[in-house]
Structure 1
Amino acid sequence: MALHDRAPRPGDANDSLFAEAGLARTLPKYAFPEGTMPPAAAYQAVHDELMLDGNARQNLATFCQTWEEPEVKALMALCIDKNLIDKDEYPMTAELERRCVHMLADLWHAPASQTTIGTSGIGSSEACMLAGMAAKWRWRARRQAGGKPTDRPNMVCGPVQVVWHKFARYWDVEIREVPMSEGHYEMTPEDMLERVDENTIVVVPTLGVTYTGSYEPVAALAAALDDLQARTGLDVDLHVDAASGGFLAPFCAPDLVWDFRLPRVKSISTSGHKFGLAPLGVGWVVWRDVAELPDDLIFHVSYLGGDMPVFQVNFSRPAGQIVAQYYDFVRLGRTGYRDLHQAAYDNCTVLADAIPRLGPFDLVCAGDQQSAIPAVAWRIREGVDPGFTLYDVADRLRTKGWQVPAYPLTGAVSGIAVQRVLVRQDVSRDLVELLLADFEEAVGHFSRHPVTVSMTPEESSGFSHL
């Protein structure tokens, strides 16, 4: 019988995709499947499950990029089979990583940007871990050289992202975190000096506090430590966690001194996939100069045909994000980054001006480009009970697809909830106006339909600070 005369069978190529046998059953969840599934059917099944995720563009909780140029996606596809760690096999990819390090060193005013040292990481969390390890090793070497004990290291910081708590636990370091209090949401020099002692391995200011978006005063902290050393001889390093601000301040607040222009700043970490505009999966750490990264933290690995100096927690890693980051650098330059981020700050101002007019809200951060990332955070005005909570507002906004998180502050103000919007490059003016219209509708909804039982933080939809 000729092939074209055969009656089609279930699963035949002539069938509709959704008649394919593989799509007539649920996908495996707890047991490894026995048989195969045609690629188109497997793709469609997984694709359909992903439809239940939120729309990333409407996720205003995340700092991370939710839009990329088609050229970036093409470069990512080109690198899908490249292992960044194999520098002998992929020397050009390794070269692009080195170039990014030196370009960041130049951006952050390293004394010798062409010869300093740094590395990429899976994100700024890995970069923080690496910087923290280097700080501990430097402190330990100084203590050992002076014949002093090294069994009680501590670090001092303001309200930090969870990575620093992880670092402190994993590397047995006491974390001395400045607690928040009413109207006091960042670390000050006075806060820091109360906690610094001879066992302090590093002070970590944040350029873009996770909870509010504000920049901590790096220059003032450095000046206070300079004075402390002049008075007591105690020499304490600074590491700047610039996960967000490291790609904002150089372009939109160039006169703000927070980086290697301050000699006490020994290392800086940042997130390439936040305001660095790269796809998810890349962070960076750069040291002031080679001397600040202890030699015994660098491994020389003979693997896949060559010697590779390695200082990363991870080993095998995708190369695409690094290549895409380099593309962003050469594609945009200082002018492009400045224009994109300035547009974000301008849209942030529109949002910050509108929120207090839409209800009993006070701003915690207005996203001023000289002192914060483009984020707006607000709370319900003190002493006012509008009959709803910010958790209720967040839940109502989700009915329109918006993810605008409500979450508690920490320390003495842990009972205060705030909401926060991150304004990224893809949050256009039109989207801001649409969000404000839905926000106004959400607040008005509660006057028409009073809340009998408000949402609690536990019941409210979860979100990530990242």
Structure 2
Amino acid sequence: MALAHPSRRPEPGDAEVSVNPLYTREPPRISKNELPATGLDPELAYQIVHDELMLDGNARLNLATFVTTWMEPQADRLMVECFDKNMIDKDEYPRTADLEARCVRMLAGLWNAPSPMDAPGCSTTGSSEACMLAGLALKRRWKHRGGTGTPNIVMGVNVQVCWEKFANYWDVEMRLVPMEGDRYHLTAEEAVARCDENTIGVVAILGSTFDGSYEPVADICAALDNLHSESGLDIPVHVDGASGAMIAPFLDPDMVWDFRLPRVASINTSGHKYGLVYPGVGWVVWRDADALPEDLVFKVNYLGGDMPTFALNFSRPGSQVATQYYNFIRLGFDGYQRVQQACRDVATWLAGEIAALGPFTLLTRGDELPVFAFTVAEGHPFSVFDVSTAMRTEGWLIPAYTFPANRTDLAALRIVVRNGFSRDLAEIMLTSLRRVLEILAKQDAPKQGPAAASFAHGA
């Protein structure tokens, strides 16, 4: 028996009834570049945004990023609970403010500050802001020492773009040491050769993003000590430990790179990298109050509370700080050590397996940062850019890029191993790579060049 058609025609308001199938409620045109005249049902609005974001890459399969892509469910809940807390409102959210101060003291102790309870420091929106604060402190200290010329800062060409921004925004000359031959980062000799009376500091990178290698912080400090004794120039060092400052204390405890070196004035790290927190949070700590000029610290009376603040940003959520503290008390030293060692073990194993495939030459092996870079050996009919593009079709994001001056002739692939990139996932990725190589080996010649790169170290 056929069903009778309903006699009542739909009324205009029927479209708002939530029992209607979701996509039948979608209007014929959704405004994308101007504010819509009317709103949408919340479930429909969510689904529209959700569906568009499905076209993004899978963050867990992104081997380009250093940024944390997995946290425990308890940390996820804490983040949601703290999204509405403004970090700047320290008088209204005193417990959140205290968690920030505790994290600073823990980091100061981890990095061997002379007096961890008294070392000044703060959270930031990421290492970029942390680096700029450290740079500002270096410049102001130079000024207080009587500096009157054009200030300069010495670093390797492999530094992150935030240092270029610092130099540009605050009128500081960058003295970049280029790469040469097999030297891919700053050395003590090259650093000292570029220092003079207007040098505000030397930046040493504990974990280059180009190949994962540590710069020789102790050697750089020793060379600057000799320069001081010979010329009187007293030049401080900032350690950009965006990644390595949360690796070296746990895996390389005998390596001296931190506040045990008197010339190290400040250290920064990214809590959202190997600090194991979702983006974005960074940290900067100074060795003592003398390293952070008092005239850079603002005393602000805000919403009934008098507080010191030294930051470029003002309002931001307390969620990342809360989860950083959660990770510190949840994992402790032993837990962080196990997480970072697992990452390094996967990195060194995977580097060895990739080297054994034949077409690749390793530049690093993942035994400093759990990061390694490799090139395509001569004589193969494909480039690193061909490999990167082909792996993207398999779902894996592996960056291909050229090195900076004076090694722009060198193109490499790089893999970052983070918490959550397990040995099992590494084996799956390796299977994909083998399958891709079989296809690429049938080409007559490389098809993709540097123009195909979708990755930049400043990103």
TM-score (structure 1 length as normaliser): 0.94
Contact 2:112 2:260 (8 Å CA) reproduced: yes
Aligned to 1:343: 342
What SS does structure 2 have at the residue aligned with 1:426?
Answer: coil
Q: How far 1:455 sits from its partner (Å)? A: 1.3
Deviations 1:229-282 (A, max 9, x none): 111111100000000001000001111100000000000000000000011010
Q: How far 1:7 sits from its partner (Å)? A: 7.1
Q: Give the letter for the 2:233 counterpart.
A: L
Aligned pairs for 1:196-345 (under 5 A) are 196-345=195-344
Q: Give the letter for the 1:317 counterpart.
A: R
Contact 1:154 1:175 (8 Å CA) reproduced: yes
Aligned to 1:155: 153
Query: Aligned match of 1:16 in 1, 16, 21?
Result: 21
RMSD: 1.4
- Determine the C-alpha separation between the residues in 1 that align with 2:92 and 2:28: 43
Count of residue correspondences: 449
Aligned to 1:183: 182
Contact 2:401 2:455 (8 Å CA) reproduced: no
What SS does structure 2 have at the residue aligned with 1:365?
Answer: coil
Query: Aligned match of 1:422 in 413, 416, 425?
Result: 416
- Determine the C-alpha separation between the residues in 2 that align with 1:465 and 1:451: 33
Q: How far 1:462 sits from its partner (Å)? A: 3.3
- Determine the C-alpha separation between the residues in 1 that align with 2:432 and 2:152: 46
Aligned to 1:41: 44
- Determine the C-alpha separation between the residues in 2 that align with 1:453 and 1:432: 26
Q: Give the letter for the 2:238 counterpart.
A: H
Deviations 1:196-224 (A, max 9, x none): 11111000000001111100000011111
Query: Aligned match of 2:86 in 83, 89, 103?
Result: 83
Contact 2:70 2:420 (8 Å CA) reproduced: yes
What SS does structure 2 have at the residue aligned with 1:113?
Answer: coil
Alignment CA distance shift 1:168-1:463 (3 Å): closer
> Greater CA deviation, 385-394 or 149-158?
149-158
Q: How far 1:397 sits from its partner (Å)? A: 0.1
Q: How far 1:385 sits from its partner (Å)? A: 2.8
- Determine the C-alpha separation between the residues in 1 that align with 2:376 and 2:445: 18
Contact 1:62 1:464 (8 Å CA) reproduced: no
TM-score (structure 2 length as normaliser): 0.95
What SS does structure 2 have at the residue aligned with 1:83?
Answer: coil
The answer to whether the aligner puts 1:138 opposite 2:131 as a matched pair is no
Deviations 1:271-324 (A, max 9, x none): 000000011010000000011111111111111111121100001111100000
What SS does structure 1 have at the residue aligned with 2:205?
Answer: coil
What SS does structure 2 have at the residue aligned with 1:195?
Answer: coil
Aligned pairs for 1:92-131 (under 5 A) are 92-131=95-134
Q: Give the letter for the 1:161 counterpart.
A: Q
Contact 2:60 2:421 (8 Å CA) reproduced: yes
Contact 2:127 2:270 (8 Å CA) reproduced: yes
Q: How far 1:442 sits from its partner (Å)? A: 1.2
Q: Give the letter for the 2:298 counterpart.
A: F
Alignment CA distance shift 1:49-1:233 (3 Å): same
Aligned to 2:31: 28
Aligned pairs for 1:379-394 (under 5 A) are 379-381=375-377, 384-394=378-388
- Determine the C-alpha separation between the residues in 2 that align with 1:16 and 1:104: 52
Contact 1:299 1:309 (8 Å CA) reproduced: yes
Aligned to 2:3: none
Q: How far 1:24 sits from its partner (Å)? A: 3.5
Q: How far 1:463 sits from its partner (Å)? A: 5.2
Q: How far 1:10 sits from its partner (Å)? A: 2.7
Q: How far 1:328 sits from its partner (Å)? A: 0.4
Query: Aligned match of 2:392 in 378, 381, 398?
Result: 398
Q: Give the letter for the 1:288 counterpart.
A: R
- Determine the C-alpha separation between the residues in 2 that align with 1:64 and 1:25: 38
Q: Give the letter for the 2:24 counterpart.
A: A
- Determine the C-alpha separation between the residues in 2 that align with 1:182 and 1:380: 17
Q: How far 1:120 sits from its partner (Å)? A: 0.7
Gaps of 5+ in 2: 1-6
Gaps of 5+ in 1: 144-148
Contact 2:16 2:41 (8 Å CA) reproduced: no
Aligned to 2:4: none
Q: How far 1:16 sits from its partner (Å)? A: 1.0
Contact 2:383 2:446 (8 Å CA) reproduced: no
Q: How far 1:456 sits from its partner (Å)? A: 2.1
Identity of aligned residues (%): 51
What SS does structure 1 have at the residue aligned with 2:320?
Answer: helix
Aligned to 2:429: 435
Q: How far 1:461 sits from its partner (Å)? A: 2.9
Aligned to 1:146: none
- Determine the C-alpha separation between the residues in 2 that align with 1:79 and 1:374: 31
Query: Aligned match of 2:372 in 360, 372, 376?
Result: 376
Alignment CA distance shift 1:357-1:7 (3 Å): same
Deviations 1:75-124 (A, max 9, x none): 11111110000000000000000000000000000000011100110000
What SS does structure 2 have at the residue aligned with 1:327?
Answer: helix
Q: Give the letter for the 1:439 counterpart.
A: L
- Determine the C-alpha separation between the residues in 2 that align with 1:37 and 1:430: 43
Q: Give the letter for the 2:88 counterpart.
A: I
The answer to whether the aligner puts 1:53 opposite 2:56 as a matched pair is yes
Deviations 1:172-202 (A, max 9, x none): 0011111012201011111111101111100
Q: Give the letter for the 1:231 counterpart.
A: E
Alignment CA distance shift 1:7-1:47 (3 Å): same
